[in-house]
Amino acid sequence: MVGNVLIYLAVVIAPTATCWVILMLPRLVAAARRRRAPEPQGPPVERLAADLRRVRHSLATLPPNAPMVRRRATGEAYDALLAQACRAVGVAHRLDAVPEGIDRELERLRVEEALRGAGLAIP
């Protein structure tokens, strides 16, 4: 008696299950081929913006009698953060190519404005 019930269930369920597998096969294949989203490179943009604000503030509030090493290190840290932020949001920069001085200051201002235009909040 149990054998007859199992045969009956197999005859009833097998065609339905086969059709379901055939209909779902393209979705399963597409899901298997789909790639994951690429992992972001570097720190999050929010952290970059916070670091930029912090280093910019410390660069602006350096005392006039601060050692030149500290002044240069803070400026280079700020330039490195600007370059990272440019890579993160896809803004072109020439901070590495421009020599220190007025030209570098102008490039910093240009990059800051371009980052603001890209949506990065730098005061």
The structure tokens listed for 50 are: 């916070």
pLDDT at 38: 66
Q: Is the pLDDT of residue 6 over 70?
A: yes
* 55 vs 100, residue with greater confidence: 55
Q: Is the pLDDT of residue 69 over 90?
A: yes
Domain range summary for the chain, segments of one domain joined by +: 1-34, 45-117
User: Dihedral, CA atoms, 92, 59, 50, 97, nearest 10 degrees?
Assistant: 20
- What band does 3 get if pLDDT is binned at 50, 70 and 90? confident
Q: What is the DSSP letter of 66?
A: -
Tens digit of each residue's pLDDT (9 = 90 or more) over 87-119:
988 899 999 898 988 999 999 999 999 999 988
For residue 43, what are the CA distances in angstroms to 16, 18, 26, 59? 50, 48, 37, 22
The structure tokens listed for 100 are: 């220190």
pTM (two decimals): 0.67
